[in-house]
Amino acid sequence: MDTATTLATLLDLVITPRPGALDRETTAAILDEAGKFSSRFLTDQAALRDREGCRLVDGRVKTPTGHRDAWRAYGEAGWAGLTTPEAVGGQALSITLASAVQETFDAADPAFGMLAINVRCATRLLQSHGDADLRADWLPQLSNGNWAATICISEPQAGSDVGRIRTRAEEGGDGTWRLTGEKCWISYGDHDLTERIGHFILARPRDAVEGTRGLSLFLVPNTLDNGALNGVSTIRIEEKLGLHASPTCSLAFEDAVGYLIGPEGRGLPTLFTMIESMRLGVAVQGAAVAQASAAVAEDYAHDRKQGGPPDQPPISIMAHAEVRRLLLSSRIRAESARLIALETASAVDAGSAGDEMANERAGMLLPLAKSFGADAAFANASAAIQVLGGAGYVNDWPVERMLRDCRIFSIYEGTTAIQGLDLLQRRVLGRNGPAPLERLLSHLEPEAELARLVEDLTAGLAAGSPAVREAAAVPFMEILGIVAADGLLRRAGRQAGPLAARYGTMADFHAVEAQSRCEALADRCSRGDIGPYFERIF
């Protein structure tokens, strides 16, 4: 079964129903068109764009050959406006379907898809918090791909510690603001793909309190309405391990005109509408690269002949036990990452439509999905290189690029440690007690012993010291990822129609090690603070 049909089947039969879901045939047709676009503009060009990379020429970023044509075609085909309202030129489709489309594109080239994530998440932010004038100006242009957007949080002295942001905002007296400061690590901070770029910036107004409560959110275009430059300049583009066709920039803002988004002093909570959407985007990136690298390994292993009796023709390396283990593990990671990402997207859709239980579920799943996808992508790309051997280590094959590209997934939009702390401290051990976790487990329906293990571990951590809980955050999230994969693979094994038998077998194989892996991670969670060991050594 091809990718479009597989995804359409999962969305129809396995993923929790959500508002605005299309029938399977329509979904498959849209995903088939996404596959055709990917084949025409992304798959073959990805390696060329990776090698050429981006350059800073006369103060502006120049993207690789063919990148602009691909983005123009992306906008003209309507992909940039999948989730925006029809009234502003969009198609008003679900985030879940948009995530499946994104997987199709990112399996070919996640560097191209980075800008697509920015645009989709920016439209969601403006829909929720932009005033009428900004929505009228920006949503149609974002929806047709003529304009783009970025998220600007980090500064040289303030990365994850957002409360130390120094960028200043002064009221302009005409309803606008003037922003001055430096921002870094900005994906597509500058480029030649669109006519205009809007930067969503956290900054501190004059006399605002210190820390995160003093921050406000602003939209700062790189050009003014009359086309003149707006005090935004590119300091440099980073030389990176991967995602070479996605320019990562440091920008300087000097008395740049900006527009307040949301209430003054509520910048970080307002921006979280975009941040959480981008975390879902990273989860899908991970699922996409996990799928793509697993597929390359499977095709290579099928065709590559090595070993067997010396007096007979060589056999496919698929016959060798270690290769089989690598392929099985990779396929199950890929399918688990896909199911978790799509289930998370479905919860986001339902939560946005007013379903409070779905909104609670989305809050629990988002950090988990982001980290699970990142880990699955890197593990699968590494496994694919192992299956291909020396061929995987050179750039004749795409898996070395996949490994480089996906390494950032566990870092940007909140590191794995930040996701773990958010999940354990705020979502699981927060003021609502164990009920949200219990409801999530009931919804996912993992094997009963795994659910009990999570519940018992949670009770123990609730009584533990802050140091113990902090040390347990990442392994706890890993456990919950295994448990989510178990439940969703089992659900697919029951409900996926023509795919049910295949998913049922994957669920069985996954279950062989799930309990022991979770027990080992639970032991790590309960072991306590590692501080004394660290201090003796360092």
pLDDT tens digits in sequence order for the chain, 538 residues long:
899 999 999 999 999 999 889 999 999 999 999 999 999 999 999 999 999 999 999 999 999 999 999 999 999 999 999 999 999 999 999 999 999 999 999 999 999 999 999 999 999 999 999 999 999 999 999 999 999 999 999 999 887 888 899 999 999 989 999 999 999 999 999 999 999 999 999 999 998 999 999 999 999 999 999 999 999 999 999 999 999 999 999 999 999 999 999 999 999 999 999 999 999 999 999 999 999 999 999 999 999 999 888 889 999 999 999 999 999 999 999 999 999 999 999 999 999 999 999 999 999 999 999 999 999 999 999 999 999 999 999 999 999 999 999 999 999 999 999 999 999 999 999 988 899 999 999 999 999 999 999 999 999 999 998 989 999 999 999 999 999 999 999 999 999 999 999 999 999 999 999 999 999 999 999 887 777 888 899 9
* β-strands 60-62, 55-57 pairing: antiparallel
Instruction: Identify the pLDDT of residue 371.
Output: 98
Instruction: Identify the pLDDT of residue 532.
Output: 84
The answer to whether residue 300 is domain-embedded is: no
Annotation says 413 is catalytic: yes
Does 91 lie in the same domain as 12? yes
**Phi and psi angles of residue 251, each rounded to the nearest 5 degrees, phi first:** -120, 145
Does 255 lie in the same domain as 157? yes
Distance CA(336)–CA(406), nearest Å, equals 17
Instruction: Identify the pLDDT of residue 422.
Output: 95
Distance CA(200)–CA(213), nearest Å, equals 17
Q: Give the CATH number for residue 28.
A: 1.10.540.10
Which residues, including other chains, have CB under 8 Å from residue 277's CB and lie 6 or more apart? 95, 120, 121, 124, 125, 348
Write down the catalytic residue from 276, 400, 413, 478: 413
Total domains in the fold of the chain: 3
Instruction: Identify the pLDDT of residue 173.
Output: 85
Does 160 lie in the same domain as 139? no
Instruction: Identify the pLDDT of residue 107.
Output: 98
Instruction: Identify the pLDDT of residue 458.
Output: 96
Instruction: Identify the pLDDT of residue 533.
Output: 85
Instruction: Identify the pLDDT of residue 281.
Output: 98
Contact 244, 49 (CB under 8 A): yes
Indicate the pTM of the whole model.
0.97
Instruction: Identify the pLDDT of residue 158.
Output: 81
Question: Which residue is associated with the tokens 């996701």?
Answer: 419
The answer to whether residue 61 is domain-embedded is: yes
How far, in Å, are 199, 202, 269, 273, 419 from residue 213 at the CA level?
21, 11, 9, 17, 21
Q: Give the CATH number for residue 243.
A: 2.40.110.20
Amino acid identity, position 357: M
**End-to-end Cα distance, the chain:** 54
Does 139 lie in the same domain as 8? yes
The answer to whether residue 341 is domain-embedded is: no
Distance CA(442)–CA(49), nearest Å, equals 45
The answer to whether residue 537 is domain-embedded is: no
Distance CA(293)–CA(377), nearest Å, equals 8
Q: Which domain-ending residue is among 209, 242, 265?
A: 265
Does 205 lie in the same domain as 92? no
Does 119 lie in the same domain as 102? yes
Q: Which domain-ending residue is among 143, 170, 191?
A: 143
Distance CA(376)–CA(394), nearest Å, equals 21
Q: Which domain-ending residue is among 250, 265, 280?
A: 265
> Where does 216-247 show beta strands of DSSP type E?
216-221, 232-237
Q: Alpha carbon 437 to chain centroid distance?
A: 22
Structural domain range at position 233: 148-265
